Amino acid sequence: MESSNIIEAEGLRVRLADRLVLDGMDFSVKKGEMVALMGISGSGKSTLLRAIVGLFSMEAGRISVAGFPMGPSDRSNLGRIRRSTGMLFQGNALFDSMSVAGNIGFVLQEVLRLPSAEIEERVNGLLERLHLGPIGNKFPSELSGGMKKRVGIARAVAHNPEVVFYDDPTAGLDPITENVISGLIAELRSGGRQSGVVVTNQLAVARKTSDRAVLVRQGKALELGPVAGLSASDIPELKEKDPKGRPASQS
């Protein structure tokens, strides 16, 4: 029987240096679902994303993405998993020596092996779709923080992956730009066709982008439930911002 989950992690244990970051974690995402992954800095949220796409090795456990399983001693499906996923990294991880078009096109060339003419057509279409305008010839150093974030998102979704990971997509952005980026993520997954994970500690971002929330605490994943019912006062780790971007008081 086919699983309803597009991401499954069971008993996941990941150690970085001498620290056990994920300690027998169980985590899943249903097909067509976006999950907000929340928790304090250093709790292991980004580690989980990187383990799922094979950037960090696991000591124990099992991972399956889009039907492709992977274990500690078997990474034979790693290439298939990476073709099925896209990731917006913290800090965007754009190549400074490449233009915007080069950054987005790199994924299309490396993952899909498309010809140059088709890559150019797809890149231009993405720039238009993400409201970036004719900036293909610009370099990352010429862009604002919000524009870099949008280019990073364009690169993450360029190859039409089944699963997209957004690692703290609004970090360092002002409240207005944060709202724009959240709206963009929501727009990209409209219709429930895109599945994935949004790492964030902002409830406003979680509510706008995701269906359900999970809290990472002490190496485990704790279910929080639908994002619509979340309140900052229920979760000590979380701080909700007021409209001016300041942490809201929690009484």
| Residues 6 or more apart whose Cβ sits within 8 Å of residue 25 | 9, 11, 12, 13, 44, 48, 61, 216, 219, 220, 221
Q: What are the pLDDT digits (tens) for 115-147?
A: 999 999 999 998 988 888 889 999 999 999 999
User: Which pLDDT belongs to residue 249?
Assistant: 32
User: Which pLDDT belongs to residue 155?
Assistant: 93
Q: Is the pLDDT at 242 greater than 50, yes or no?
A: no
Mean pLDDT value across the chain = 88
Q: What is the DSSP string of 136-200?
A: TT--GGGS-HHHHHHHHHHHHHTT--SEEEEESTTTT--HHHHHHHHHHHHHHTTTS--EEEEE-
- Structural tokens at position 93: 């991880």
Q: Is the pLDDT at 84 greater than 50, yes or no?
A: yes
User: Which pLDDT belongs to residue 217?
Assistant: 93
Q: What are the pLDDT digits (tens) for 9-27?
A: 999 999 998 899 999 999 9
The percent of residues in the chain predicted with pLDDT above 70, rounded, is 92
Please return the burial class of 19, using the count of CB atoms within 10 Å of its CB with bins 0-12, 13-18 and 19+: exposed
For residues 57-84, average pLDDT: 89
Helix H or strand E segment including 82: helix 78-84
Q: Is the pLDDT at 246 greater than 60, yes or no?
A: no
User: Which pLDDT belongs to residue 143?
Assistant: 93
**Cα 227–232–236 angle (5° rounding)?**
120
Instruction: Give CA–CA dist 251/232, Å, rounded.
Output: 10
User: Which pLDDT belongs to residue 178?
Assistant: 93
User: Which pLDDT belongs to residue 192?
Assistant: 60
User: Which pLDDT belongs to residue 79?
Assistant: 87
Does the model's pTM come out above 0.85? yes
For residues 219-228, average pLDDT: 93
Domains, the chain, ordered by start: 5-234 (3.40.50.300)
Instruction: Give CA–CA dist 140/149, Å, rounded.
Output: 10
SS3 28: strand
Q: What are the pLDDT digits (tens) for 195-217?
A: 999 999 899 999 999 999 999 99
Instruction: Give CA–CA dist 155/105, Å, rounded.
Output: 8
Q: Is the pLDDT at 241 greater than 50, yes or no?
A: no
Q: Say which DSSP state 32 is in.
A: T
Lowest mean pLDDT among 83-97, 162-176, 228-242: 228-242
User: Which pLDDT belongs to residue 234?
Assistant: 67
Q: What are the pLDDT digits (tens) for 163-186?
A: 999 999 998 899 999 999 999 999
Q: Is the pLDDT at 227 greater than 90, yes or no?
A: yes
For residues 24-44, average pLDDT: 94
Q: Is the pLDDT at 240 greater than 70, yes or no?
A: no
